[in-house]
Amino acid sequence: MDEILQHLLTTPPQPGALTLEDWWREHLGLSSRFAVPVDVALAGGFRADRLGFAFASGYHAALRSLFPRMPANHRAALCATEAGGGHPSAMQTRLSGGGEGPLRLSGTKAFVTLGTAAETLFVVASEGQDEQGRNRLRMVMIDARRQGVHLHALPPTPFVPEVPHAELELRDVAVTSDEVLPGDGYTRYLKPFRTVEDCHVHAAFLGWLLQVGRRSGWPERILDETLALVVTVRGLAQAEPSSPAVHLALGGALDLCHRLVSGLEEWWPRVDASTRELWERDKVLLGVAGKVRAKRREVARERLAGG
């Protein structure tokens, strides 16, 4: 831990990336320096000139944490959401074949973060239904440039528009058996991803906030509170993402993050105009998926109460 804390506290707080390609070059450099994905998220956020590129580092670090065999030098994207949403029952993308014949992947994903920039795709697909009529999901890792893979750029979002999104169309894509990851696609990968993503994206946000505060002369108490949250979120990012206790602790940590942000109003005038404008545009990102987080917290309490 000491290495990343020293980095955040002693590295000159000068932001770098101005384009998506700039971000990726810097993110790759940090990935070779820091072995733990959440440390890459923290360092990537600290280096970012805006929340969008901090988010990109957090998102990519979350994927690296969840999928250790992901190629280190490839931009990656998780492909889950379909026209009917992201619930397991909504998954219509199919993984078919096997046995004597080849495996094939077909379907459409409606919203893929970093989609048009991705080189590796992690696709949630159904193998069919079990005895109870529920989707049997698998996670498939494929090359984004493979024949039959089509990524269609979506319009930029109103906030963090620098992060591209795409619709993914899969037309009878050939898949090898070793590209189908072991374990259940929902319980092992899709379900824990929200927790893993929350930890890594908020770590990147805190790294970015520490950089802004340091170069803008914010009071030391604010920097210390930010650093304390860095340590908390970093620990949670390395904990078991399916644990209800971790879900409750993460909910409390995110509450503290929001409380910290709410107390910064008097200090934003010290920040340069460009950074302030981007923050006003992009800060809504922190509230995305608030209902999902609240439900996760509620379920965690119920699980703990039930023993």
Summarize pLDDT for 145-156 with one digit per residue, the tens: 999 999 999 999
Q: Do residue 100 and residue 197 come from a single domain?
A: no
For the chain, give the percent of residues with pLDDT over 70. Answer: 98
Which of the listed residues 160, 180, 200 is the one where a domain comes to its end? Answer: 180
- What is the pLDDT, as a whole number, of residue 102? 86
Same domain, yes or no, for 192 and 229?
Answer: yes
DSSP code for 115:
G
Q: Is the pLDDT of residue 307 over 80?
A: no
pLDDT score recorded for residue 112: 98
Give the structural domain span for 84: 76-180
In a shared domain, residues 131 and 273: no
Q: What is the pLDDT of residues 211-248, one digit of tens each?
A: 999 999 999 999 999 999 999 999 999 999 999 999 99
Q: How high is the pLDDT of residue 154?
A: 98
Give the pLDDT score at 131: 80
What's the pLDDT score for residue 302? 93
Nearest to 226 by CA among 8, 6, 3, 4: 8
Q: What is the pLDDT of residue 306?
A: 82
Is 107 found in the same domain as 61? Answer: no
Please state at what angle helix 244-262 crosses helix 220-237, rounded to 10 degrees: 160
pLDDT tens figures, 201-211: 999 999 999 99
The answer to whether residue 71 is domain-embedded is no
Domain boundary among 134, 163, 180: 180
pLDDT number for residue 253: 97
Report the candidate in 285, 294, 296, 242 with the shortest Cα–Cα distance to residue 59. Answer: 285
Domain closes at, from 131, 158, 180: 180
Model confidence over 31-64: pLDDT tens digits?
999 999 999 999 999 999 999 999 999 999 999 9
Same domain (yes/no): 175, 205: no
Q: Exposed, middle or buried by CB within 10 Å (0-12, 13-18, 19+), for 181? A: middle
Q: Mean per-residue pLDDT for 159-183?
A: 96
Residues 116 and 161: beta-carbon distance below 8 Å = no
**What was the pLDDT predicted at 235?**
98
| pLDDT tens sequence across 83-131 | 998 889 899 999 998 766 789 999 999 999 999 999 999 999 999 988 8
- At residue 129, the pLDDT reads 87
Whole-number average pLDDT of the chain: 95
Given phi > 0 = left and psi -120 to 50 = alpha, else beta, which region is 99?
left
Number of domains, the chain: 2
- CA–CA dist 288, 102 (Å, integer): 39
Q: Please state whether the predicted TM-score (pTM) of the whole model is above 0.85.
A: yes
| Judgement on whether residues 299 and 250 belong to the same structural domain of the protein | yes
Is there a single domain that holds both residue 90 and residue 32?
no
